[in-house]
């Protein structure tokens, strides 16, 4: 309980009028802090089970000198490997919010090795070659990258075909 109260004290919306946006003021103001992935309600239907952020990475994805957060989120299941959703978070006036979905759970993949570098999100996606493959043991692996371009994220699968693991 004390940890929740301490975190809540740190995650307060900024007040006052916004300063002129320059790289120098962005580096000093509260907007220079990447959004906290634990402070967001994700659009992930877990049918009553809790959600879990399994990985996150921060960086400026759109070139505005303010860092975004990318979070891999899944439902807490009792067994198997539940699929991930990967979301991009930004700071809003009322706190962090989801602004894009890079990977959705119907794709039945797990995101591993999530990073942000050079305005690009990179993850290794683990999946299944068919319904007969046990959900504990993904047998497909591919590297995926997402980059902000022309007002949206575009995905690039860097492997010509998914590799078996």
Write down the mean pLDDT value for the chain.
Answer: 79
Q: What is the model's pTM?
A: 0.76
Domain count, the chain: 1
Structural domain that includes position 130: 27-164
Backbone angles phi, psi at 105, to 5 degrees: -60, -30
- On whether the CB atoms of residues 92 and 72 are closer than 8 A, the answer is no
Q: Which two tokens stand for residue 19?
A: 């300063």
- On whether the CB atoms of residues 109 and 125 are closer than 8 A, the answer is yes
- The pLDDT, as a whole number, for residue 17 is 25
- The pLDDT, as a whole number, for residue 136 is 82
Q: Is residue 126 part of a domain?
A: yes
Question: What pLDDT, in 10s, does the model give residues 53-75?
Answer: 999 999 999 999 999 999 999 99
d(CA 17, CA 94): 14
Q: Is residue 41 part of a domain?
A: yes
d(CA 90, CA 67): 8
Q: Is residue 91 part of a domain?
A: yes
Q: Is residue 9 part of a domain?
A: no
Q: Is residue 93 part of a domain?
A: yes
Question: What pLDDT, in 10s, does the model give residues 112-145?
Answer: 999 999 999 999 999 999 989 988 889 999 999 9
Taking residues 83-107, what's their average pLDDT? Answer: 94
- The pLDDT, as a whole number, for residue 159 is 59
Q: Is residue 86 part of a domain?
A: yes
Q: Is residue 5 part of a domain?
A: no
Q: Is residue 57 part of a domain?
A: yes
d(CA 120, CA 155): 10
């Amino acid at each position: 309980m004390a940890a929740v109260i301490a975190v809540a004290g740190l995650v307060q919306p900024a007040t006052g009028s916004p300063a002129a946006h320059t790289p120098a003021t962005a580096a000093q103001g509260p907007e220079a802090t990447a959004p906290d992935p634990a402070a967001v309600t994700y659009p992930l239907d877990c049918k009553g089970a809790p959600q879990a952020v399994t990985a996150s990475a921060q960086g400026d994805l759109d070139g505005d000198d303010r860092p975004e957060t990318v979070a891999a989120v899944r439902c807490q299941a009792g067994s198997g490997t539940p699929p991930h959703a990967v979301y991009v978070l930004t700071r809003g006036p009322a706190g962090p919010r989801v602004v894009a979905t890079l990977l959705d759970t119907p794709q039945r993949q797990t995101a591993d090795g999530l990073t942000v570098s050079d305005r690009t999100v990179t993850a290794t996606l683990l999946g299944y070659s068919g319904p007969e493959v046990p959900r504990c043991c993904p047998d497909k692996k591919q590297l995926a990258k997402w980059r902000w371009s022309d007002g949206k994220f575009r995905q690039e699968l860097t492997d010509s075909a998914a590799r078996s693991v």
